[in-house]
Amino acid sequence: MTRIFSGVKPTGHLTLGNYLGAVRRWAEIDQHGADALFCVVDLHALTVEHDPARVHRLSRQAASVLLAAGLDPKLCTVFVQSHVDEHTRLSYLLECTATDGEMRRMIQYKEKAAQERARGGSVRLSLLTYPVLMAADILAYRTEEVPVGDDQTQHVELTRDLAERFNQRYGHTFVVPRATHPPVAARVMDLQSPLSKMGKSHTATGGIVYLLDDADVVRKKIMRAVTDSGQDVEYDRERRPGVANLLDVLAACEGGDPEELAGAYRSYGALKKDTAEAVVELLRPLRERHAELVADPGYVDEVLRAGAERARKLARPVVDRAYRAVGLLPPV
């Protein structure tokens, strides 16, 4: 069985981008006999200025949204990163494998560090080492595939480099994983500024569809999406990024091809209307199931408890082996 690992960071409410780029596929993978682990990576949420009460709330919410999206805890493991110490234990060994230069080349680090500085804040050291903790998340489970959106490609590449380097220096310890992406909507763009990614931690929320938004709010946001000057509905990500983004979303919802779909539309209005309805329908079951889960917090707790227990069992021997491999004395 293919071992799969992926995670979501509780830094904001989950978005349509998270869903189409990652979470929806996790629920599908889950049904196809893989051995998959899905994680609310809460430690990663501490790498930027954060409100403790909010991280707490969002971590719980992320877990229940994953279950509402169709992850079946009987078929996969759902857990919270900070409940399994092996992630941070392994992260340190990988910090001793990675270089400062590698970290500073990470695009997300450069972007996020610039944002923090622009806000007048300071950059946490953990923001720089974030990709190493992410590599630990993946490597601790001997993961083969990492289903993610486009924006995580560079981090998974780094994970591969670290695994290979570690294996070469200290003997074969880690499986070298690979990223997998959805065929469409691997990068859903913000509806108001279609040149940037739809990101859950962005402060301007008008262009972001949250998974738990009311149907009317979803409709409004999509109907107000920025399109482009011009009339023709054509799929051109460079010249018509707003229209291309709507076509991607519609294609992802309906399972079609964005370029072919473009040919079926004569006006932006009709495209927006169909996209809005497709998204509302896609998210309806998730919203309904989420409301049931909110009413049953004991169930979510039990899923997370059992998930962490299984994750620990899997990660412990891998991380112990890595500790021995680098020459550390086993505890007596």
Which residues bind to ligand TYM, rule: CB under 6 A? Answer: 5-9, 17-18, 20-22, 41, 44, 134, 137-138, 146, 148-149, 151-152, 155, 186-188, 197-198
The answer to whether 285 and 224 have CB atoms below 8 angstroms apart is no
Phi/psi at 12 (5° precision): 180, 175
313 labelled catalytic: no
The packing angle between helices 86-95 and 125-139, to 10°, is 110
Beta carbon nearer to ligand TYM, 116 or 299: 116
Distance CA 128, CA 132 (A): 9
Of 110, 200, 220, 273, the active-site residue reads 200
Beta carbon nearer to ligand TYM, 154 or 167: 154
Q: Least CB distance from residue 31 to ligand TYM, whole Å?
A: 19
272 labelled catalytic: no
Q: Which residue is nearest to ligand TYM (CB)?
A: 21
Please enumerate in sequence order all residues whose Cβ is within 8 A of that of 119, keeping only pairs 6 or more positions apart, or say none. Answer: none
The answer to whether 40 and 56 have CB atoms below 8 angstroms apart is no
Residue whose tokens read 């493991």: 77
Q: Least CB distance from residue 21 to ligand TYM, whole Å?
A: 2
Q: Is 11 annotated as a binding residue?
A: yes
Beta carbon nearer to ligand TYM, 26 or 268: 26
Q: Which of 25, 50, 13, 38 is nearest to 199 (CA)?
A: 13
Q: Least CB distance from residue 134 to ligand TYM, whole Å?
A: 4
Q: Is 313 annotated as a binding residue?
A: no
Q: Is 274 annotated as a binding residue?
A: no
Distance CA 280, CA 331 (A): 55
Is residue 197 helix, strand or coil?
strand
State both tokens at 271: 């495209």
Beta carbon nearer to ligand TYM, 97 or 152: 152
220 labelled catalytic: no
What are the binding residues for L-tryptophan?
137
What are the binding residues?
9-11, 17-18, 137, 149-151, 188, 197-201
Catalytic residue IDs: 112, 197, 200
